[in-house]
Homo-oligomer: A and B are copies of this chain.
């Protein structure tokens, strides 16, 4: 079992590569086989499979093999943890900015 921090590690790591983000965008349009994912990419099949493994390990993609073709699809709930981490930071940061702004405003009023 992975703790939350490790899952964020894998998630952000997986998203930190344009090839993998591209694969996710391709999968946004619907499931695809490994070869379909690989077709537009300028690299070997094994390389694609390694990217796929990273995405799967991050929980962003689920795959299943039927006959000889492995079908890949988005795991729609996966991004929520990353989303929440970012949203949390953003709200805390802007709250801090607001507080700072008020402080300056108060200072201004006292003249």
Contacts and interface: CB of A to CB of B under 8 A. Distances in A.
Interface of A: 5, 8-9, 11-13, 15-18, 21, 24-25, 28, 30, 74, 76, 79-80, 82-83, 85-87, 89-90, 92-94, 96-97
A41 to B, nearest CB: 15
Contacts of A74: 93, 96
A25 B88 CA distance: 10
A28 B86 contact: no
A24 B86 CA distance: 11
B83 A90 contact: yes
Contacts of A90: 76, 79-80, 83
Contacts of A18: 5, 8-9
Contact of A12 (B5, B15, B96): B15
Contacts of A25: 89
